Amino acid sequence: MLTGIIRADMQILRGLSSPDSHPIALTIGNFDGVHLGHQALLKQLMAAAKARNLEAAVLVFEPHPREFFSPQQAPARLTNLREKLECFEQIGLDRVYVCHFDAALAQTSALDFVDILQAKLQAKFVLIGDDFRFGSGRSGDFDLIRQRGLALGFEVQAMASVCEQNLRVSSTAVRHALQQGDLKLAERLLGRHYSMSGRVEHGQHLGRKLGYPTANIQLKHNHPPLIGVFAVQMKIEAGEWLNGVASLGVRPTVEVNGKPILEVHLFDFAEEIYEQHVQVAFLKKLRDEKKFDGLESLKLQIDDDAQRAKQFFATTEQELRTEN
């Protein structure tokens, strides 16, 4: 798994400006999910940076441009910013530029944007995906940035798409797999189990009343890419992976028009972990979310969910120990 805390020597910079004049090898994108295609591009970037004695840097946008233009229609986030940065530090990038996407940036022409890369970020090598589009109206493409690079004195390369068993690896493909409950396919596209992270917050303590105390994990976005009940593993800060069962949804039995919440019940665990940062890896979907007639029916279902999750771990324990 790509996990961990953000290392101190990976610079995280806000905006389109550099703290020094050290030239960089740069790639640009949203990198939602940091899937196998993203990882291949970033590894190629790092190799190019090393060969040219440059720092390896990535430029990401926050919020996602589609969230800025049409927040109601924007796709579900696979990774929040912290999760994305943790993946970047595991890969070994030197710098990450987090650029606030706003109206001014949306109106920046493609040519002006390329000029900014060279003038403000000291980009000497730029690597982009073969379908990358940028600038106002998405008018910029590989040919434009390559031609501008020739004029300004920086090198530009494009990387072809990565495929997994004849399926193009993309954030869209990962989202579709998660929506269908196909966690094995999502794992193949990501190169790791799909996971979410967040801080444990106080809830209504309903799980405790039902005999299944849960860690309620704060979600950064109200549109998760998957819904249902799952066998999961959870890691608390820098601790070990612990087995459990989780519900991710709007809790229709006890809420009306509720917001999505992630609740994790860990087996054989009784510690207080409020305010701690945790990571939850989704291993197997057990069922869809549904509304029950009352709390007694809900408890019977939770009993069954917990038993099925334990059976899953009993049959896959050795495999999971090897992965982690």
Q: Is residue 270 part of a domain?
A: yes
Question: What is the count of structural domains for the chain?
Answer: 2
Within this chain, do residues 147 and 49 fall inside the same structural domain, yes or no? yes
The rounded radius of gyration (Å) of the Cα atoms in the chain is 22
Instruction: Convert the pLDDT of each residue in 98-132 to its tens digit.
Output: 999 999 999 999 999 999 888 899 999 999 988 88
- Indicate if the pLDDT at residue 320 is higher than 80: no
The answer as to whether 1 is a domain residue is no
Last residue within a domain, chosen from 146, 164, 182 = 164
User: Does residue 89 lie in a domain region?
Assistant: yes
Residue 70 located in a structural domain: yes
Phi, psi (rounded to 5 degrees) for 153: 90, 30
What is residue 218's predicted lDDT score, i.e. its pLDDT? 83
* Rounded-to-integer distance, Cα 145 and Cα 14, Å: 23
* Phi, psi for 137 (deg, rounded to 5): 70, 15
Grade residue 215 by pLDDT with cuts at 50, 70 and 90: very high
Residue 109 lies in a domain: yes
158 and 198, same domain (yes or no) = no
**What pLDDT shows up at residue 1?**
43
Separation of alpha carbons 99 and 62, rounded Å = 6
Pair 142, 254 in one domain:
no
In a 13 Å sphere around the CA of 53, the CA atoms on its Cβ side amount to 1
Is residue 129 located within the same domain as residue 232? no
Predicted confidence (pLDDT) at residue 4 exceeds the cutoff of 80: no
Residues 143 and 236 grouped into a single domain: no
CB atoms within 10 A of CB 79: 24
Both 139 and 205 in a single domain?
no
CA 108 to chain centre: 27
Say whether pLDDT at 257 is over 80. Answer: no
Q: What CATH code is carried by the domain that includes residue 92?
A: 3.40.50.620
Does the pLDDT at position 323 exceed 70? no
The verdict on 144 and 80 lying in the same domain is yes
Residue 218, domain member (yes or no): yes
Same domain, yes or no, for 94 and 214? no
Residue 230 structural domain? 193-323
**125 & 212 share domain:** no
Q: How confident is the model at residue 198 (pLDDT cuts 50, 70, 90)?
A: very high
- Is beta strand 11-14 parallel, antiparallel or unpaired with respect to 95-100? parallel
Among 2-16, 107-121, 184-198, 250-264, the range scoring the smallest mean pLDDT is 2-16
Amino acid at 80: N
Report pTM.
0.91
Give the pLDDT of residue 108.
93
- Give a yes or no: residue 180 inside a domain: no
In tens, the pLDDT along 167-178 reads: 999 999 999 999
Q: Are residues 160 and 21 in the same domain?
A: yes
* Structural domain includes residue 238: yes
Determine the pLDDT at residue 255: 80
Between strands 215-217 and 241-249, the pairing is unpaired
Q: Of the ranges 19-23, 248-252, 296-300, 318-322, which one carries the lowest mean pLDDT score?
A: 318-322
Give the containing element (helix H, strand E) for 55: strand 55-62
Q: What is the pLDDT of residue 222?
A: 77
Three-state DSSP class for residue 157:
strand
Determine what percent of the chain is predicted with pLDDT higher than 90. Answer: 71
Q: Looking at residue 211, which CATH number applies to its domain?
A: 2.40.30.30
- The arithmetic mean of pLDDT across residues 253-273, rounded, is 89
Please say if the pLDDT value at position 191 is more than 90: yes
Shared domain for 145 and 197, answered yes or no, is no
